[in-house]
Amino acid sequence: MIKTVHRHLKKQVKLSLLVIVLVVAFLAFSLLFNGLFKPSHANYIFTQEVDVRQDPAIKRVIEMTTQEGSVSRVEFPKTNDHAIDEALRDFVKKHQHAFFEVTSKNENRIKQQQPAHHHISFEWYVVDQNVASVVFYEHWNISNVAYHSNIETFLINFNSSTAVNSKHLINFKSMNQVTLKEKITNVITQEGLLLTPNESVQETLDDFLKDPNIIIDRHTIKLLLQDSKLKNNEGTYTAIELPFASVPAIMNPNLLALLPLPIIEKPTNPIPPKPNNPTYTNKIAFTFDDGPNANTKKVLAVLKKYNVKATFFVLGQQVAAYPDVARQIIAEGHDIGNHTYSHKDLVKASPELAKAEIDKTNNIVFETTGQTIKLFRPTYGRYNASVKSLTNLHFVLWNVDPLDWKVRVPKTIANNILTHTKGGSVILMHDIYSTSAEALDMVLGQLIDKGYDIVKVSELLGY
Ligand code: ZN
């Protein structure tokens, strides 16, 4: 009896031990299995911050996230502006999430231990202290399953704390699409960017307009194209560079109003011209504001000496005062553009007054010279969407400002022009000062010798 009980107890202990051993073995096996074969099941995030070379005020946040065997390494900028940071981080996180969604659904890949990688990096372009561009590069690689590469660009404005995706920057409503396509096609041809000559880029341009990526750089607007027909001249994409002055033609006026205009060349950061690159545009344009007056004749004489055509943005009241000079400008083959009637700041003026300032000048130029004006240069380069809506004239700004109205020393003005002019430059001068005429005389010969084609601004911008 005792023996039976004892044996029974022994049997129970053995059974319990077996259960314990089995449980321990199972746990050990699970741990081992997870530890050895699915180490990446543990999700973790690793963050690091580094400086952004182009702008010491900006940090680059690098975040490594591992989830279900998939690795994502993303970068996003950290500025001092909370709203901008959040917008850019949200964008990056949304794309990371989309990647993890795809990989988590793909069980085969996890079973076969195939690596899946996601990568977002960015480049930062400083325009001035308030404006920057950022381009994000995204790349997925889920082995044998999916491959994906993408770029997205944002325009950053610190004044308004906004980061706007460039998809919203192109003005689709107008006829500008045609103009823009022509401009892009011209650059592709001039720079020999087609891999197979004479191939049509129509589809490429349509794709671009559906999903436009733009960077505003200090001097130019860059349109980023991704197409296998084109040479990658910058990173993993093709950059089509247009002079900044042509931006108004293709941008949404509401967003354009956010840009600090004019963009004045900083003497500390000159961009050298590229005269050695035969495919680079060698066209430049001289523009003269605030005239005409008696001094305009000196400028006209210099232009005649070098057989150069230019564009004069006149004030209506000056045309009324110097009608003969206005007629001489046209007779000698130059263009006249509108610069308001009495140099009013149209952003501050009422819409009625602003419209009168523009219309009166169009009328007096037509009555005096027979010329119909096509171009408008806002005073101080200042305008907004409401000013833009007052007229159909093309808004023309500038990207080289030698400060001739302020400096009044011909040699200094000449140096300013020579230092900053490059292909695509629109140079701002004032024909009402004799020092400006003297500076012009100093630079025209040198610029022609350097191989620049000096044209009217309407030709440079394709209006
Ligand atoms: Zn002016």
Residue 99 has pLDDT above 80, yes or no: yes
At 274 the pLDDT is: 35
Whole-angstrom Cα distance, residue 70 to residue 66?
6
- Residue 193 alpha carbon to ligand 1 centre in Å: 39
- Residue 288 alpha carbon to ligand 1 centre in Å: 9
Residue pair 333/315 in contact by the 8 Å Cβ criterion:
no
Residue pair 87/102 in contact by the 8 Å Cβ criterion:
no
- Residue 23 alpha carbon to ligand 1 centre in Å: 87
Residue pair 15/29 in contact by the 8 Å Cβ criterion:
no
Residue 250 has pLDDT above 90, yes or no: no
- Residue 182: strand, helix, or coil: helix
The widest CA-to-CA distance across the chain, in whole angstroms, is 137
139 is catalytic: no
At 86 the pLDDT is: 94
Residue 411 has pLDDT above 60, yes or no: yes
Residue 69 has pLDDT above 80, yes or no: no
At 261 the pLDDT is: 43
User: Which ranges constitute the DSSP H helices of 33-155?
Assistant: 82-105, 107-111
- Residue 348 alpha carbon to ligand 1 centre in Å: 15
Beta bridge partners of residue 163, listed in sequence order: 156
Residue 360 has pLDDT above 60, yes or no: yes
Residue pair 361/338 in contact by the 8 Å Cβ criterion:
yes
Whole-angstrom Cα distance, residue 141 to residue 146?
6
- Residue 340 alpha carbon to ligand 1 centre in Å: 9
- Residue 315 alpha carbon to ligand 1 centre in Å: 8
At 43 the pLDDT is: 67
- Residue 405 alpha carbon to ligand 1 centre in Å: 10
Residue 272 has pLDDT above 80, yes or no: no
Average pLDDT over residues 202-207: 86
- Residue 120 alpha carbon to ligand 1 centre in Å: 45
Instruction: Considering the candidates 290, 339, 430, 441, report the single residue annotated as catalytic.
Output: 430
Q: Lowest-pLDDT range, 222-231, 258-267, 431-440?
A: 258-267
Question: What percentage of the chain exceeds 90 in pLDDT?
Answer: 39
pLDDT digit string, tens, across residues 428-448: 999 988 999 999 999 999 999
Cα distances (Å, whole numbers) of residue 83 to 7, 52, 79, 89, 297: 76, 19, 10, 10, 53
- Residue 318 alpha carbon to ligand 1 centre in Å: 12
The radius of gyration of the chain from alpha carbons, rounded to an integer in Å, stands at: 32
At 85 the pLDDT is: 94
Average pLDDT over residues 192-214: 84
At 328 the pLDDT is: 97
pLDDT digit string, tens, across residues 168-189: 777 666 546 777 788 888 888 8
Whole-angstrom Cα distance, residue 124 to residue 410?
37
Q: Lowest-pLDDT range, 139-143, 369-373, 400-404?
A: 139-143
- Residue 308 alpha carbon to ligand 1 centre in Å: 22
State both tokens at 4.
């039976």
Average pLDDT over residues 207-222: 78
Cα distances (Å, whole numbers) of residue 79 to 54, 74, 151, 165, 416: 13, 16, 21, 17, 33
Best-predicted range by mean pLDDT (201-205, 226-230, 276-280, 391-395): 391-395
- Residue 447 alpha carbon to ligand 1 centre in Å: 25
pLDDT digit string, tens, across residues 281-325: 799 999 999 999 999 999 999 999 999 999 999 999 999 999 999
430 is catalytic: yes
Q: Lowest-pLDDT range, 109-118, 202-211, 320-329, 401-410?
A: 109-118
292: preceding bond cis by omega (within 30 degrees): yes
Which residues, chain by chain, have CB under 5 Å from ion ligand 1?
289-290
Q: Could you please report the per-residue DSSP string of 91-108?
A: HHHHHHHHHHHHHHH-HH
The predicted model scores a pTM of: 0.49
Strands 283-289 and 453-455: parallel
- Residue 339 alpha carbon to ligand 1 centre in Å: 7
Strands 283-289 and 311-314: parallel
Average pLDDT over residues 247-273: 45
- Residue 180 alpha carbon to ligand 1 centre in Å: 28
Q: Lowest-pLDDT range, 14-18, 100-104, 310-314?
A: 14-18
Confidence class for position 116, pLDDT limits 50, 70, 90: confident
Q: Lowest-pLDDT range, 29-43, 160-174, 184-198, 258-272?
A: 258-272
Instruction: Considering the candidates 289, 404, 431, 441, report the single residue annotated as catalytic.
Output: 289
- Residue 291 alpha carbon to ligand 1 centre in Å: 9
Helices 434-449 and 296-305 meet at what angle, rounded to 10?
Answer: 20
